[in-house]
Amino acid sequence: MSSNITRFGILGSGKIATDFCTALSYLAGDVKAVAVAARALDSAKDFASKFDIPRAYGSYEELTKDPEVDVIYISVLHPWHYNTALMCLQNGKGILCEKPLTMNAKQLEHLISVARERKLFFMEAMWTRYFPYSMRLRELIKEGIIGDVKLFQVNFCLPPIDDATHRVNDPKLGGGALLDIGIYTIAFSQMVFEGRVPVKTNVQSQMNSLGADVFDHIVLEYDQGEKSIHTLSMVSPSENHAIISGTRGYIKVDAPFNCSTGFTAHVITEDGTNTTQRYDYPLPPVIPGTSFYFPNGVGMVHEARYVHKLIQSGKIESDQETLEESLDIMKILDELRRQMGLVYEADSQPLLH
Amino acid sequence: MSSNITRFGILGSGKIATDFCTALSYLAGDVKAVAVAARALDSAKDFASKFDIPRAYGSYEELTKDPEVDVIYISVLHPWHYNTALMCLQNGKGILCEKPLTMNAKQLEHLISVARERKLFFMEAMWTRYFPYSMRLRELIKEGIIGDVKLFQVNFCLPPIDDATHRVNDPKLGGGALLDIGIYTIAFSQMVFEGRVPVKTNVQSQMNSLGADVFDHIVLEYDQGEKSIHTLSMVSPSENHAIISGTRGYIKVDAPFNCSTGFTAHVITEDGTNTTQRYDYPLPPVIPGTSFYFPNGVGMVHEARYVHKLIQSGKIESDQETLEESLDIMKILDELRRQMGLVYEADSQPLLH
């Protein structure tokens, strides 16, 4: 690794990769994208030109063999995470991979074992964990500001996309609420309950004509009876807040909960009065001439900076979302899918070698 | 009935009766409390003196036989609604009865049949329905402002009351979340879905040591797949909002949803942009020297005024929540209790004659 600089290869050239490279451009040379690969060379070249990336490849394999790349950011659709991630690791590259890391726990266990065996960087791009509001939220919960947490409620509800062939409606392209947006709510719940594994899971779903889950209502239960309630919808929008409710008050995280800029704590004090405390964490200012596709996309800067810090300190895993926790989350998704009867092609495919 | 004046008998002399009589005092003589009864004559006398009520009785029966009373407001704990209500009706008195009207549908069917047979006024004191915000909300939903309603979400979550013998924790005194606070969320759901009866019900509960349900999570499903999601808690507080989510936007009713002062409609317009429209309905101003025990209690004025209007126009039932709807709501509560295994003494007691 070249000293002090983290050199990224970008695998995939879509909107999320665009936002990620824009975020990298905010880090003033500490982190650089040095190569990009897309399925079509022209797309890779266009992308490279937009971000002054020196090398563009028309195949993912070429990128994984580029000797100047330290770590590869995987941003293709999630059905292709496993095979591209494995290729990266097998070619000695660390990976920051978009969520969900894989289609099922079996695939993820394999990737984790390969990454650890080869001592390569491996981290889920769960950007939520690296926002300042999210760091502070974890501290306050741990300090018991709202007493014992009893209930977590979260919404991720979007307006319908009427085009039946759109990616989000097609399970073959990773469409469906659970893996597309549920990954955020489940990961948030695991954060609130400090990584404890739920003892009960329950889900009620509704499928579209292609077999994608367009509505899921999930109840997880933790070992002290704490409930975690998730409403995921691709048929009607709602307020996408998160509320953590405890014996002595509650915290409401402003929508969008997964890339928020603040929260309000409503605390019942010893003498029974109610107090309200506001916590604000504005987004980094958007640099003129830059823009982001995704709401609050500039918040990706926090994640990119964290990856840089980890890599520069020689760490190969995140301490904010461990790989064990990523795996626990994937196992919860597997169990929910089992209850829903939702099977992906990946479930019947053998692991790669 | 004396012309133009509605003469109330007050059955019970607790906090809710106090708020109701305070509300009556706002109606400048159109509606009068002319008698009050409590189990202890002294309580009735104290109450009568506070509100200048001419007659006080130490038994409910005396009140029901007072010839100057047109309609009786029943405010005792709900386990005693059925027998007191029946006594009123059998003595020829109309009733406005606090919610839930009875402990089960069997009792309510009996009361409805007696009231109709004797052509007596009978109405559930579901004050929510008579607030201006609630009237306007119904209109907007009907007009399709948010497209087709797909999802309703509502919270009624309160801090724990640690005294294990407190009424709210004791099922013998009507304690427990479903009948105490769930009645509000179910009645609101029925309002949002225009009285249609759910085709599926599902509940997950948690009981305290006395057998009262201190946490209920309810999912109702309507015939077009619409979901109605209720979180009731007596172990941790939360934001007690209601959100109605449709294909073209959502409406968020400010907490407390059941006696609110407004809501915000988030609407996706034809060209895909998002608009926000605020609807405010401030509470009637509190008259100096008066006060209310319950949050937004002054809103009881709307209900009292509506009752007066109905009675003066010769109506014996509300057109904003029909008795059929009250009965449907009670049947939903019965079914939820069946699933929870929650049985009240009233369930095994025979109907009275």
H or E element, residue A277: strand A274-280
Closest Cβ–Cβ partner in B150, B236, B250 for A245 = B236
Question: B220 forms bridges with which residues in the sheet?
Answer: B201, B228
- pLDDT tens digits for range A103-132: 999 999 999 999 999 999 999 999 999 999
Chain B nearest CA to A257, separation (Å): 15
Residue A164 has pLDDT above 90, yes or no: no
Residue A293: pLDDT above 70? yes
| d(C-alpha A261, C-alpha A283), whole Å | 6
Of all residues in chain B, the one with the smallest CA distance to A273 is B159
pLDDT in tens, A5-50: 999 999 999 999 999 999 999 997 889 999 999 999 999 999 999 9
Tell me the shortest Cα–Cα distance from A221 to chain B, in angstroms.
11
Q: Where are the alpha helices (DSSP H) in chain A?
A: 15-25, 41-51, 60-64, 81-90, 105-117, 132-143, 177, 183-192, 300-312, 323-340, 345-348
The whole-angstrom separation of Cα A157 and Cα B146 is 14
- At A221-265, the pLDDT tens digits run 999 999 999 999 999 999 999 999 999 999 999 999 999 999 999
Rounded to whole angstroms, the Cα distance separating A219 from A201 reads 6
pLDDT, tens digit (0-9, with 9 covering 90-100), for A86-96: 999 999 999 99
Judging contacts by C-beta atoms under 8 Å, the chain B residues touching residue A209 are none
Q: From its phi and psi, is residue A115 left (phi > 0), alpha (psi between -120 and 50) or beta?
A: alpha
A2: pLDDT strictly greater than 80: no
DSSP string, A149-215: EEEEEEEEE------TTSGGG-GGGT-SHIIIIIHHHHHHHHHHTTTPPPSEEEEEEEE-TTS-EEE
Average pLDDT, chain B: 96
Contact B134, B107 (CB under 8 A): no
For residue B252, the chain A residues in CB contact (below 8 A) are: 239
Compute the nearest-CA separation of B231 from chain A (Å): 9
Task: State percent of chain B over pLDDT 70.
Answer: 99
Which residue in A has a C-alpha nearest to residue B269's C-alpha?
A159
Position B304 pLDDT exceeds 70: yes
Residue-wise pLDDT for B223-256, tens only, equals 999 999 999 999 999 999 999 999 999 999 999 9
- What residues of chain B have any CB closer than 8 angstroms to a CB in chain A? 146-147, 149-151, 153, 155, 157, 159-160, 202, 204, 206, 215, 217, 219, 225, 227, 229, 231, 233, 235-239, 243, 245-250, 252, 266, 268
pLDDT score of A29: 81
Reply yes or no: is the peptide bond before residue A100 cis, omega within 30 of 0.
yes
B18 CA: distance to closest CA in chain A (Å): 23
Is the pLDDT assigned to residue B30 strictly greater than 90? no
Of A204, A238, A243, the CB nearest to B245: A238
pLDDT at B164: 86
How many Å lie between the alpha carbon of B14 and the closest alpha carbon of chain A?
23
- Residues of chain B with C-beta less than 8 angstroms from the C-beta of A146: 236
What domains can be seen in chain A, in order of their start residue?
6-127+304-320 (3.40.50.720), 132-280+322-347 (3.30.360.10)
Neighboring chain A residues of B245 at a CB cutoff of 8 Å: 157, 233, 236-238
User: In the predicted model, is pLDDT for residue B1 greater than 60?
Assistant: no
pLDDT digit string, tens, across residues B105-122: 999 999 999 999 999 999
pLDDT for residue B321: 97
| pLDDT recorded at residue A30 | 87
Q: What is the mean pLDDT of chain A?
A: 96
Judged by DSSP in three states, B155 sits in strand
The per-residue pLDDT for A3 is 65
CA A98/CA A17 separation, integer angstroms: 10
Q: Which band of pLDDT confidence, cut at 50, 70 and 90, is reported for residue B55? A: very high
The distance between the two most distant Cα atoms of chain A, rounded to a whole number of Å, is: 67
Q: What is the mean pLDDT of residues B144-172?
A: 94
Which residues are within 8 A (CB) of A286 and not within 5 positions of it... i.e. 6 or more apart? Answer: A292, A298
Q: Is the pLDDT of residue B2 over 70?
A: no
**What pLDDT digit, counting tens, does each position of A173-191 carry?**
989 999 999 999 999 999 9
The percentage of residues in chain A with a pLDDT greater than 70, rounded to a whole number, is 99
- pLDDT of amino acid A353: 86
pLDDT at residue B89, as a whole number: 98
List, in sequence order, every residue forming a beta bridge with B213; answer none if it has no partner: B207
For residue B151, list chain A residues with Cβ-Cβ distance below 8 A: 157, 215, 231, 233, 235-236, 238
Residue A217 to residue B215, Cβ atoms within 8 A:
no
Per-residue pLDDT, B352: 96
Considering only CB atoms, A252 lies closest to which of B151, B202, B239, namely B239
What distance lies between CA B268 and its chain's CA centroid? 33
- What pLDDT, on a 0 to 100 scale, did the predictor assign at position A28? 79
Q: Which residue of A has its CA nearest to B234?
A: A247
Q: Which amino acid is at A223?
A: D
Asked whether the beta carbons of residue B150 and residue A206 sit closer than 8 angstroms, the reply is no
B270 pLDDT tier (thresholds 50, 70, 90)? confident
pLDDT higher than threshold 80 for residue B3: no
Give Cβ neighbours of residue A65 (< 8 Å, ≥ 6 apart): A91
